[in-house]
């Protein structure tokens, strides 16, 4: 289940059903049970900057942060993967710079965050190629036009 926290100020610009589709296609591609859950919080630069500073030591806003918190509820058997934060302000800025819709950017950031929750990274060339290919395949399945959007960590 995709637990969404979206402030009303951003809600009108986000198609939540598309986020649900991106979520389910990501789970399928990652071979994770479709009943698995995450929490996605769409927020602003101020809050994501605070999390980025506290958890990664980077005093700047970023577009997406993933916090793995994988566990299985012993009572329900439900698998919880973790939490994802997306800065709507950063997503809007990046979408304007690249000339595409903010919805496409947010979907891509959700998929990117899910890949991190599933253990993927782009810390070396091999991992970057694998993660980038998988992200592009998922985005293609949901008819999101973005491709090649992962930066290689040098």
Number of domains in the chain: 1
For residue 149, give both structure tokens. 């959007």
108: in domain: yes
> Residue 153 domain-assigned?
no
Q: What is the reported pTM?
A: 0.93
pLDDT (0 to 100) of residue 98: 93
d(CA 94, CA 100): 9
Sign of CA dihedral 118, 80, 27, 40: negative
Instruction: Give pLDDT, residue 154.
Output: 52
Instruction: Note the pLDDT of residue 153.
Output: 58
* pLDDT at res. 152: 61
Q: Is position 61 within any domain?
A: yes
Query: What residue numbers bound the domain in which 87 lies?
Result: 2-141
Domain assignment of residue 111, yes or no: yes
Q: Write down the pLDDT at residue 128.
A: 85
Asked if residue 55 belongs to a domain, the reply is yes
DSSP 48-59: HHHHHHHHH---
Which pLDDT tens digit goes with each residue over 66-110?
999 888 888 888 899 999 999 999 999 999 999 999 999 999 999
Task: Output the domain CATH number for residue 126.
Answer: 3.40.390.30
Indicate the pLDDT class of residue 148, thresholds 50, 70 and 90: confident
Contacts (Cβ under 8 Å, ≥6 apart) of 57? none
- How far is Cα 91 from Cα 88, in angstroms, rounded to an integer? 5
Q: What is the mean pLDDT of residues 41-63?
A: 96
Higher per-residue confidence, 82 vs 129: 82
**Are 153 and 122 spatial neighbours (Cβ–Cβ below 8 Å)?**
yes
């Amino acid at each position: 289940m995709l637990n969404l926290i979206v402030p009303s100020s951003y809600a009108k610009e986000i198609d939540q059903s598309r986020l649900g589709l991106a979520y389910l296609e990501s789970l399928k591609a990652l071979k994770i049970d479709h009943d698995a859950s995450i929490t996605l919080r769409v927020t602003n630069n101020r809050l994501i900057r605070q999390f980025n500073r506290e958890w990664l030591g980077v005093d700047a806003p970023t577009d997406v942060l993933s916090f793995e918190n994988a566990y299985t509820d012993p009572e329900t058997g439900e698998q919880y993967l973790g939490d994802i934060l997306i800065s709507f302000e950063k997503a809007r800025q990046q979408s304007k710079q690249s000339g595409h819709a903010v919805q496409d950017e947010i979907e891509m950031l959700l998929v990117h965050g899910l890949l991190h929750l599933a253990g993927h990274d782009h810390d070396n060339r091999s991992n970057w190629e694998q993660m980038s290919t998988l992200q592009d395949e998922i985005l293609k399945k949901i008819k999101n036009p973005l491709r090649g959007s992962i930066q290689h960590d040098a």
